[in-house]
Structure 1
Amino acid sequence: MSLCYLSHMLSIHCLRSVSTPACLNKLHSTIELFVNRLDSVESVLPYEYTTLKKKKKSYFIRLQKQLLCVLFGERIEPSPYKFEFKKPVVCGKVCMRTYSTNNPSDKAKLDFLKKGMLLNYQHHWIVDNMPVTWCYDVEDGQKFCNPGFPIGCFVTEAGRSKDACISNFNEKDAFYIFNHVDITIYYHIVEHEQLGARLVAAKIEPKSYENPNDDKPDCSGGPKFLKNKHTGEFKITYTYSVNFAEDKKIRWASRWDYILESMPHTNIQWFSIMNSLVIVLFLSGMVAMIMLRTLHKDIARYNQMDSVEDAQEEFGWKLVHGDVFRPPKKGMLLSVFLGSGTQIFIMTFVTLFFACLGFLSPANRGALMTCAVVLWVLLGTPAGYVAARLYKSFGGEKWKTNVLLTAFLCPGVVFADFFVMNLILWGEGSSAAMPFGTLVAILALWFCISVPLTFIGAYFGFKKTGIEYPVRTNQIPRQIPEQSFYTKPFPGIIMGGILPFGCIFIQLFFILNSIWSHQMYYMFGFLFLVFIILVITCSEATILLCYFHLCAEDYHWQWRSFLTSGFTAVYFLVYAIHYFFSKLQITGLASIILYYGYTMIMVLIFFLFTGTIGFFACFWFVTKIYSVVKVD
């Protein structure tokens, strides 16, 4: 069964194959518990579970590594927690850890344990391919089931409990360690299978016990705490209790539902998304109606003037028919951006389409980012083809430079940013840091698959004849008259990104929550609808502004159309900065740099994606109107 845990990066999933019992025999069957990395909403840096525990070769034999798991920081490992089905355990001993402040190594580990509790780091455990959840009461009598539980909590000198201190801990300036867990595993009997049962839920309750006898713990003492200024030896005994309960109401196919339904703001999310979709559809309809009516009148008027051989002087967008297809400046760079944007657009569309069908749901962990990465690698051919075809239509002749830039420019910028972030993760000792071998594997995928496919696409792109335009281009460029404020490039570009951003910012909030606040994102159906609305809105907003500029006799539409819809990425960046200061509690220079480093990667990808939509929408629009209208 595919086993992995939903990562902290939206699309941060991975694949591992681990054998777990899908159907358990009531007489004898072993249930294995797996552990994932430690993470926190107050830090971008994840760590391995074994960082806080003493590694034992018999327990912590690392599972077979897979590229995407390492790439996205996943660290799933076997654990010493193993249960026999329907055999309860009361205060079973797992292991004992001894620290000494006189030993520099132990002192460093103890300081790391304190830091983990200060920053509210959480465990993530997995049983039978589903997360072990910590369910507790929240507002209005609701229960929230968190797919993780804290390693401990801190009580300040003033006696104020921080974060996870849900019990009455009275000791001041002390760290309380959750060294005991009560695990309840729910199952139901499979009627059509003899003596069989399936696990449908696993819930946990962390507790803290000071055992009088560490060799034979009985989980009867008070809470286990560590004074902030403790010196000398300190022992921690880890224990667990496990119980089994039959639940006939939960079906195995819907065993994730109780987690998803308990997520905070779920009702608000549905209402906000529907409200956003209605508003955006209404605005898109208005833009489309205005464009169709205005453009229809212009075409009818111009054709009528030609048919009666009216001597009136032409005006408006028809005047620039001899310059509208003039090659843009920096055509090489524009064609490269459009090739990379096409690659990202197809990758996003196919990934969201399969996610919408349910193939890439949270239960099918690892599939989302696997699909995206594989598609990006395999879509080098359309990227090379689009870049080469457009560059040739712009009159370019440096085909070698074009194909090299298409293959290396944008992916190289992303990889350079990612490499710098990885250096920081290496320095911090985070589990998200990729080993050198994984970096080599990524480069192999890039250079050995994506780059050759880009060259193949560019070969066919240059081999084809140039794009035939409906009108000829004059040899002498027409002088552009002085523009009013709203038809100048910069104001138009700024205005063009507002409407597309308005249709995504609500979804963007929940996506950022899933990335940085470790919440599960599962509403891919709505996300796919918002994706379609974003494409329509980018196209219509860019076409509308392009029409205004052509009417003002400004024929430089190529770069402007790309930047108009691409400016949505700037609003994305501003929103990400606002989200950082208003919603997150990230501390530490390394975490802040990592947040903005990864955000810049997302902004660049979004810029290429939206800019490509705007350009091709305007390209279709300009080609269409100048082929319909009779031009002398």
Structure 2
Amino acid sequence: MAGIRSRLCFLALSLLSTVHAFYLPGAAPHDYHEGEPVELFVNALTPMIAGHDDAKLKSLINYDYYNPAFHFCQPEGGPKKQPESLGSILFGDRIFNSPYDIQMLQDNGTCRLLCIENVPPHDAKFINDRIREDYAINWLVDGLPAAEMKVDQRTKEVFFDMGFNLGDDEGEFAETPALHNHYEIVLRYHRPRPDVYRIVGVLVWPTSRGGPQVAQPEGEVDCISPVPPLILSETQNNTVRYTYRVMWNESDTAWATRWDNYLHIFDPRIHWFSLINAVIVVVFLCVMVSMILVRTVSRDISRYNAIDLSEDVQEDWGWKLVHGEVFRTPQNPMVLSVLVGNGAQLCAMVAVTLVFALLGFLSPSNRGSLATVMMVCWTFFGGIGGYVSARLYASMGGTNKRRNSFFTATIMPTVVFAIVFLLDLFLIAAGSSGAVPFGVLPFGAAFVELYFVLSSLFASRAYYAFGFLALTAAIVALTTATVTILFTYFILCREDYRWHWRAFLTGGGSAFWLLAYGIVYWASRLSLDSFSSTILYFGYLILLALFDFLITGTIGFLATYWAVRRLYSAIRVD
């Protein structure tokens, strides 16, 4: 036996020597060599929350980087759109190439002229308005977003805040915003082995440099001497000179951990406190429901089953009294089965998406991967929704199965399409890059950890705490199921058999709290001046509440359906 074990150990070690590491799709590093071109891509301009504590989001409209009103420098031959995922397009990304000329480890400290643009008065007003709304410029280098280095005032930790301001409207520029037209670009690189370099950080310090235009030799620019800021006049033409300087800094950060500086939690205690609070609540509910179902229901079942059958008259009471009515067909069984079927489809979509996220497939470097996976899962899980809807409809005595299948497959997508289509019209009217091309519309959104999810959706912040999200989703599902079962038991004890719709509405009641929280978030964290932004926010909020209503309503109904069948199958009915 010892000889066999030694041979097995030797075989295992030999197999381990043949194992090779692999990267998840779309997450492999790019190895650069000195002098190799490094492409800088530009993305849509997005509104951001300013750095101070009382700052609010002022808009929800995204704008193309090459929107003619901005007058940004264009690459030779015109901008070329880069390939993007479906989810990236739906969430407003519009990625193009740029005229910035960057080579690995080159141009360290050399200031270069990018272009000189003429900005007329009406476009100057457009730019100034976007500066006052705290719009941010978004660049991408090797899959990493350009960021500004900032310090968290609570924890004093240094982090990278994605995007950088279009201009400055604070302090001395409060009345007349200053446009940032010079960019100090610092690229951090890591050297895993000799003559091989990997980009692990992209930092940009924008500044405003105005004053008279001094003639300089071709390609040489003075970007060090102090000059007044660039103030765009809204009454006359403006000349804007865009300049940049590239610097390279070696870093100890490995490529695999380069996102750590970007994914910053402003108050990590919020996650833990909310999670612990939710765990306490769900444990309390589970204990309470268990006490009711195990002690009270077991006692009732034993008492019912112990009735002497020899007696001529037997009197039922409590929930047993409605045993002949509890499975009677409820009102509008078609509508109920369609809602439950669509809710089951959404539940499967959320569950599988969370599994992919926990396994690391939804890396922030794969832009739009979350939305893409959710829509693909929604499409493939149509069979689950159809099966649950048809099975429930048949169990409630429904006979028109074709109509049930048709409504299950069409009503929910039609409602979502109608809402998003109307919102898309507002985006098109506002000239937003977030306007979706007709035919391709979003169908899903996350619904838990509301503050962080809403910040991710509306404030252009990356969301990555999928472990917390999965735990919170599990807690929400368990809480919904236990609360709905408990309330249904109380209904049956009152000798009321009409539990079907009440179970669904009780489970879906959390959607109204989500809607209320969204209103609080709008009042406390947003300052939307335009009518279009307000309509967009509440339109997306209604969609989130609708999805939450279907998901939690389905969880509550199916849990109650299972509990009621188990309950009445345990008693003797004569």
TM-score range, shorter chain: 0.7 to 0.9
* Cα shift at 1:211: 5.5
Normalization by structure 2: what TM-score?
A: 0.87
What is the CA–CA distance in structure 1 between the aligned matches of 2:30 and 2:403, rounded to whole Å?
Answer: 54
The reply on whether 1:93 has 2:113 as its aligned counterpart is: yes
What is the CA–CA distance in structure 1 between the aligned matches of 2:239 and 2:257, rounded to whole Å?
Answer: 42
Counting only pairs closer than 5 Å after superposition, residues 575-590 of structure 1 correspond to structure 2 as 575-590=517-532
- Cα 1:514–1:25, aligned 2, differ >3 Å: closer, same or farther? same
Number of corresponding residues: 528
Q: What percentage of residue pairs aligned between the two structures are identical? A: 39
Counting only pairs closer than 5 Å after superposition, residues 551-630 of structure 1 correspond to structure 2 as 551-630=493-572
What is the CA–CA distance in structure 1 between the aligned matches of 2:323 and 2:505, rounded to whole Å?
Answer: 22
Structure 1 contact 339–382 (Cα < 8 Å) conserved: yes
- Cα 1:33–1:625, aligned 2, differ >3 Å: closer, same or farther? same
Structure 1 contact 38–48 (Cα < 8 Å) conserved: yes
Q: Secondary structure at the match of 1:173?
A: coil
* Cα shift at 1:287: 3.0
2:53 — aligned with what? Answer: none
- Cα 1:300–1:181, aligned 2, differ >3 Å: closer, same or farther? same
The reply on whether 1:231 has 2:245 as its aligned counterpart is: no
What is the CA–CA distance in structure 1 between the aligned matches of 2:508 and 2:115, rounded to whole Å?
Answer: 55
Match 1:73 to one of 66, 88, 92: 92
Q: Secondary structure at the match of 1:63?
A: coil
Q: Deviations over 1:170-222 (max 9, x none)?
A: 4673221111111111112112xx41111111111111112643653311242
What is the CA–CA distance in structure 2 between the aligned matches of 1:287 and 1:330, rounded to whole Å?
Answer: 29
What is the CA–CA distance in structure 2 between the aligned matches of 1:615 and 1:272, rounded to whole Å?
Answer: 26
Which structure 1 residue ranges, 5 or more long, are not aligned? 1-16, 102-106, 156-160, 162-169, 447-503
Between 618-627 and 199-208, the greater mean CA deviation after superposition: 199-208
Structure 2 contact 75–99 (Cα < 8 Å) conserved: no
Structure 2 contact 85–367 (Cα < 8 Å) conserved: no
Between 124-133 and 381-390, the greater mean CA deviation after superposition: 381-390
Q: Deviations over 1:369-389 (max 9, x none)?
A: 111000111111122222222
What is the CA–CA distance in structure 2 between the aligned matches of 1:233 and 1:315, rounded to whole Å?
Answer: 87
Q: Deviations over 1:542-565 (max 9, x none)?
A: 101111111111001111100111
1:4 — aligned with what? Answer: none
2:150 — aligned with what? Answer: 136
Q: Secondary structure at the match of 2:490?
A: helix
What is the CA–CA distance in structure 2 between the aligned matches of 1:223 and 1:306, rounded to whole Å?
Answer: 99
Normalization by structure 1: what TM-score?
A: 0.79
- Cα 1:529–1:380, aligned 2, differ >3 Å: closer, same or farther? same
Alignment RMSD (CA, Å): 2.4
What is the CA–CA distance in structure 2 between the aligned matches of 1:82 and 1:522, rounded to whole Å?
Answer: 32
What is the CA–CA distance in structure 2 between the aligned matches of 1:269 and 1:20, rounded to whole Å?
Answer: 30
2:30 — aligned with what? Answer: 22
- Cα 1:300–1:148, aligned 2, differ >3 Å: closer, same or farther? same
Q: Which amino acid in the other structure matches residue 99 of structure 2?
A: P
Q: Which amino acid in the other structure matches residue 263 of structure 2?
A: L
The reply on whether 1:264 has 2:266 as its aligned counterpart is: yes
Q: Secondary structure at the match of 2:397?
A: coil
The reply on whether 1:401 has 2:403 as its aligned counterpart is: yes
Which structure 2 residue ranges, 5 or more long, are not aligned? 1-24, 48-56
2:11 — aligned with what? Answer: none
* Cα shift at 1:144: 4.0
2:66 — aligned with what? Answer: 50
Counting only pairs closer than 5 Å after superposition, residues 400-439 of structure 1 correspond to structure 2 as 400-436=402-438, 439=439
- Cα 1:19–1:25, aligned 2, differ >3 Å: closer, same or farther? farther
Q: Which amino acid in the other structure matches residue 160 of structure 2?
A: C
Match 2:465 to one of 520, 523, 533: 523
Q: Deviations over 1:559-594 (max 9, x none)?
A: 110011111111111111111111222221110000
The reply on whether 1:113 has 2:113 as its aligned counterpart is: no
Q: Deviations over 1:467-522 (max 9, x none)?
A: xxxxxxxxxxxxxxxxxxxxxxxxxxxxxxxxxxxxx87x2122112112222211
Structure 1 contact 118–154 (Cα < 8 Å) conserved: yes
Q: Secondary structure at the match of 2:408?
A: helix
Q: Which amino acid in the other structure matches residue 322 of structure 2?
A: V
What is the CA–CA distance in structure 2 between the aligned matches of 1:621 and 1:353, rounded to whole Å?
Answer: 27
What is the CA–CA distance in structure 1 between the aligned matches of 2:397 and 2:314, rounded to whole Å?
Answer: 35
What is the CA–CA distance in structure 2 between the aligned matches of 1:577 and 1:138, rounded to whole Å?
Answer: 27
Structure 2 contact 152–266 (Cα < 8 Å) conserved: no
Q: Which amino acid in the other structure matches residue 513 of structure 1?
A: S
Q: Secondary structure at the match of 2:113?
A: strand
- Cα 1:199–1:179, aligned 2, differ >3 Å: closer, same or farther? same
The reply on whether 1:246 has 2:254 as its aligned counterpart is: no
Between 370-379 and 396-405, the greater mean CA deviation after superposition: 396-405
Counting only pairs closer than 5 Å after superposition, residues 104-253 of structure 1 correspond to structure 2 as 107=122, 109-139=123-153, 141-154=156-169, 161=171, 170=172, 173-191=175-193, 194-210=194-210, 212-213=212-213, 216=216, 217-219=221-223, 220-226=225-231, 230-248=234-252, 250-253=253-256
Q: Deviations over 1:377-413 (max 9, x none)?
A: 1111122222222222222222232222111111111
